[in-house]
Amino acid sequence: MDGVIKIEVPGRPPLAAFNLDGTFYVTDDTCTHGEASLSEGVIEDGLIECPFHQGCFEIATGRPAAAPCTVPIRAYRPVIERDLLHIEDDGA
């Protein structure tokens, strides 16, 4: 079962946390093409499809995978410790 939630963190753009069949991934939530929230999109074959113009990104890497998206979203490496999802953000 795949799922995604939006995570608002004060002082930075929102994140999208994915559960792809038990494996967790975290990316930026805002599409690089428009101002859409990717967590409102559809997950399919490891891709998140933006709800605005059906552009896609690879969830694991952030790589753009369908037009009109051409600029990657940031993908973070999450670590689970004591049931909490952590990501490392270098602030860049």
Partner 1 sequence: MIATVRLADGSVAFPCAAGDNLLHAGLRAGIGLPYECSVGSCGTCKYELLDGRVETLWAEAPGLGERDRRKGRRLACQSRPLTDCTINLRPGAAYVLPVPAARQRVAFLASEPVTHDMREFRFRAAAPARFVPGQYALLELPGVGARRAYSMCNLANAEGDWHFHIRAVPGGRASRILFGPLDERTEVVLDGPFGLAYLREGPRDIVCVAGGSGLSPMVAIARGFAAGKGHPARRLHFFFGGRTPADICGESLLAVLPGYGERLTYHAAVSDPEAARAAGWPGPTGFVHTLVEAALAPNLARFEFYFAGPPPMAEAMQRMLVANSVPSAQVHFDRFF
Spatial separation of the C-alpha atoms in residues 12 and 23, rounded to whole Å? 24
| Site membership for partner 1, residue 92 (CB under 8 A) | yes
d(CA 69, CA 20): 22
CB of 30 to partner 1, least distance (A): 8
Q: Binding segment for partner 1 among 1-9, 15-23, 32-40, 82-90 (CB under 8 A)?
A: 32-40
| Nearest distance, CB of residue 37 and partner 1, angstroms | 13
| CA atoms of 91 and 68, how far apart (whole Å) | 27
Q: How far apart are CA 67 and CA 15, in angstroms?
A: 22
Q: Which of 16, 26, 29, 32 binds partner 1 (CB under 8 A)?
A: 32
Report strand pairing: 64-66 vs 56-58.
antiparallel
Which stretches of the chain bind partner 1, using CB under 8 A?
A: 30, 32-35, 47, 52-56, 66-68, 70-72, 92
